[in-house]
Amino acid sequence: MNGAESLVRSLVAGGVDTCFTNPGTSEMHIVSALDRVQEMRCVLGLFEGVVTGAADGYARMAEKPACTLLHLGPGLANGIANLHNASRAHVPIVNVIGQHAIDHLRYDAPLTSDIEAIARPYANWLRTSSSASEVGCDAAEAIAAARTAPGQIATLIVPADVAWAEGGKVADVSPVPRPALPAFESIDRATSMLRSGLPTALLLAGNALSGEGLELAGRIAAGTGARLLAPYPITRVRRGAGAVAIERIPYTPNQAVEVLKGFRQLILVGAAPPVSYFAYPGRASVLTSPECEIHALARPGEDYTGALEALADALSLGTKEPIVNKPNRPSVPTGEITLDGLATTVSALLPEDAIVVDEAMTSGRGIMAACAGAPPHDWLGNTGGSIGIALPLAVGAAVACPARRVLCLTADGSGMYTLQALWTMAREGLRVTTVVFANRSYAVLQKEFAGLGVGDPGPRARSLFDIGHPSLDWVNLAKGMGVPATRVTSLDAFARGLRDSYAADGPSLIEIPF
C-alpha cells in the first residue's frame, strides 16, 4: 500500500468519509487512491473557495469534519477566505494539501511555494508528512486535532513522493480530548448573576445554539427571566416553531447597541463579547453598555452543554420548560415585491426541517425574524465576515443532509465571489434552492460609507458600489452551470418559484431584481 492509499484509508477509518476537492498533478496519486477506497465520497469544485466553504457547511451539519484535497500553495490560497470564516466559527476541517516531491523542491519549479507559511494563519494544527509510513498516522492526528473542541482547522501537507512511495500504514483513530467543564467559580458566578435580579442575557455560540445546549439555556432563561442572544456571525442555530426562542444581535452597530443597552449583565457561553465588525471614527467598538458586566461561563473549547447543565442544577430549575417559538405560519402574500413580502413568502413556504443558509446582507435582513414561527429549521450564517460563502456552504450542507431541503439566500455581490458552487450543485444533484437578491450594488458598502461619516459618495465611490453596469444576469449564470433558473418580479412569481424549486429533485435558482 502506498502512502496515498494509507492516507485515504486512515481518513475513512477516522470517520472522515467526504472529500471536497480540486486536485492537480501533485495530488494524482491521492486521486488514484480514491479510486481504490470507495467509502470516501468525492465532491469536485471548480474553484477552491467552493471546496473549503463546502467543507465548512458539511461539518456544521454533519457535526464531524470533511476533508479537502487541494493543489499546492495556490490551491490552498484560493480556499483561505472561506477557511477564515470556518476558523472564526471553530468549524472542524481536515485540509490535505499536495506538495511537490521532496527532491523536486530544490529546483524551485514554477509552482513551488512555502505552503506551511500560506497555511499557518488558518491552521490550528499543521504538519508536512515526511514518509509514506507516517502519513496515515498524520491523518489520524489531523482528525483528532480537527475534532478537538471547540473545533479546529487541521492542515496536512503531503509531498507527492510521500503519496507515491510504498510502505503506507493505515492508522488507528487517535483519541479526541473531551472538552473540560468550566471551573466551579465560573458556574457559581453565573448563578449569582442570574439570581441578582439585574437585566441579564446569555449569549450562546457553538453547540449551545442547538440540541441539548439550547434546551438547557432555554430552561435557564425561562426560570430566571434572562434573555437568550445569538451573535450576528452565527454558525448554526435551531429555529422555528417549537425551538427555544432566541434573538440574534443585529449586524448594524446602532441596532446592536439598541438590543444590548438594557442589559447590565451578559453571560457568555462559548461566545466572544459583542463588538462591531468595523471601527467607526469616534465610536466605541464594544457594543454593550459600559455598565454591563460580562462573564464567560464557558470559554471556547470548554463543555458548553455541561456548563449549562451545571448552571441549571445550581439554579434548581426543576422541571421548568423553556419558552419556545409558537407555530406561526403566515399566508402567502401576493402583489409587488417588498422586503416584508419577500420575508413573509419565505416563511410561508419554508419546508419542514429546512437548512437555511443566509448571506443576504442587505435585502435578506428581515427573513430570519419572519421565520420564527415557520416549521423547525436550522439557520447557517457567515461567521467570519469574508463574503462569498453562502453558495459553498449550501453545497456542503446539502451533501451532509441529502434528505433535507437547503434554502440559500444570497445577493448578487456576495454570490459572485464563489458562483462556481452552482456547478457542483448541478453535478451532485443537490436539493438546493438559491435565491439571489439582485440589488445591483454593494449596498452594504453604501451604508457603511454613510456610517463612517465620510460624507456623500462622489461619482467614483458610487461607481465602485455599483455592480449594475452591466447587470449580472443570474438566470444566464445559473444556466451556464447547469442549474435551472428563473427571474421573478412579483411576490406571486416568487412563491411559485419557491414551490417549484422545493418540488424539484435538484438545484434551482431564483433571481429577484430588487
Contact set for a copy of itself, span 178-237 (CB under 8 A): 233
Judge if the upstream peptide bond of residue 150 is cis by omega within 30 degrees of 0. yes
By the rule CB under 8 A, 110 interacts with a copy of itself? yes
**C-alpha to C-alpha distance for 336 and 408, rounded to whole angstroms:** 22
The residues pairing with 294 across neighbouring beta strands, listed in sequence order, are: 266
Candidates 274, 252, 256, 287; CA nearest to 361 is: 252
User: Considering the complex, what minimum distance in angstroms separates the CB of residue 161 from a copy of itself?
Assistant: 7
The nearest distance, CB 317 to a copy of itself, in angstroms, is: 33
77 grid coordinates? 490560497
Sequence-distant (6+) residues with CB within 8 A of 43 are 18, 19, 20, 21, 54, 395, 399, 424, 428
Stretch that binds a copy of itself, among 203-211, 345-353, 363-371, 412-420 (CB under 8 A): 412-420
Distances (CA, A) of 396 to 56, 200, 264: 7, 36, 39
C-alpha cell of 21?
Answer: 476537492
**Could you say which residues in the range 362-391 bind a copy of itself, by CB under 8 A?**
383-388
Q: Which residues contact 216 (CB under 8 A, 6 or more apart)?
A: 305, 308, 309, 311, 312
Task: Pick from 7, 16, 91, 118 the residue near a copy of itself by CB under 8 A.
Answer: 118
Locate 210 and state its grid cell.
442547538
Q: Footprint of a copy of itself on residues 39-68 (CB under 8 A)? A: 42, 44, 46-47, 49
- The one segment of 53-61, 146-154, 280-288, 493-501 that binds a copy of itself by CB under 8 A: 280-288
455 binds a copy of itself (CB under 8 A): yes
Residue 406 main-chain phi, psi, to 5 deg:
-110, 130
Q: Does 121 bind a copy of itself (CB under 8 A)?
A: yes
What distances in angstroms separate CA 186 from CA 85, 195, 214, one per listed residue? 29, 14, 19
Residue 137 near a copy of itself by CB under 8 A:
no
Containing 380, the helix (H) or strand (E) segment is: strand 377-381
Whole-number Å distance between alpha carbons of 392 and 47: 10
Amino acid identity of residue 293, one-letter, is E
Shortest reach from residue 120's CB to a copy of itself, in Å: 7
* Position 477 contacts a copy of itself (CB under 8 A): yes
Q: Which of 286, 323, 324, 493 binds a copy of itself (CB under 8 A)?
A: 286
Residue 159 in 3-state DSSP? strand
Residues numbered 322 to 361 that lie near a copy of itself (CB under 8 A) are none
Nearer residue to a copy of itself within complex by CB, 109 or 403 = 109
- Which position among 81, 187, 257, 267 is part of the footprint of a copy of itself (CB under 8 A)? 81
454 binds a copy of itself (CB under 8 A): yes
How deeply is 324 buried, as exposed, middle or buried, from its count of CB atoms within 10 A (0-12, 13-18, 19+)? Answer: middle
Applying CB under 8 A, the span of 32-40, 172-180, 198-206, 310-318 interacting with a copy of itself comes to 32-40
Distance of alpha carbon 133 from alpha carbon 162, whole angstroms: 8
- Residue 405 as a binder of a copy of itself (CB under 8 A): the answer is no
36 binds a copy of itself (CB under 8 A): yes
Closer CB to a copy of itself, residue 376 or residue 385? Answer: 385
Question: 36 and 82 in contact (C-beta within 8 Å)?
Answer: no
Q: Which of 1, 101, 314, 323 binds a copy of itself (CB under 8 A)?
A: 101
CB of 101 to a copy of itself, least distance (A): 4
Closer to a copy of itself by Cβ: residue 121 or 402 = 121
Smallest distance from the beta carbon of 115 to a copy of itself, in angstroms? 9
Q: Is 505 in the site for a copy of itself (CB under 8 A)?
A: no
5 sits near a copy of itself (criterion: CB under 8 A): no
Site for a copy of itself in 244-273 (CB under 8 A): 272-273
Phi and psi angles of residue 2, each rounded to the nearest 5 degrees, phi first: -85, 175
Among 9, 64, 100, 377, binds a copy of itself (CB under 8 A): 100
Interacting residue with a copy of itself among 293, 448, 492, 500 (CB under 8 A):
448
d(CA 112, CA 424): 29
In this chain, which stretch among 23-31, 256-264, 335-343, 344-352 interacts with a copy of itself, using CB under 8 A? 23-31
Q: Is residue 437 involved in binding a copy of itself (CB under 8 A)?
A: no
Q: Which CB sits closer to a copy of itself, 235 or 433?
A: 235
Q: 172 by DSSP, 3-state: which?
A: coil
Phi and psi at 126, nearest 5°, equal -145, 130
Count other Cβ atoms within 10 Å, centred on residue 460.
7
Nearer residue to a copy of itself within complex by CB, 275 or 323: 275
